Amino acid sequence: MARLYRCGECGLRFPNPALARQCASWCRTHRSCNLELLRQAV
Ligand SMILES: [Zn+2]
């Protein structure tokens, strides 16, 4: 099973740490979901 990386802000899981970090910084500043990132969530 592949390692998943979780966004510390919203709890979405991503296949790589870069996406998880992008999501976390987005969540922190916008307090909403980024559809581009959501599409890549696992
Ligand atoms: Zn997030």
Consecutive sets of 10 residues in the chain, 42 residues long: mean pLDDT of each?
86 94 94 84 89
Spatial distance between the Cα atoms of 22 and 18, rounded to a whole number of angstroms: 6
12 Cα–ligand 1 center, Å: 6
Distance 1 CA to ligand 1 centre (A): 22
Domain boundaries, the chain: 5-38
Euclidean distance between CA atoms 42 and 29, whole angstroms: 22
Instruction: For residue 15, report the distance from its CA to the centre of ligand 1, in Å.
Output: 13
**What is the per-residue pLDDT for 17?**
95
- Rounded distance, CA 32 to CA 38, Å? 11
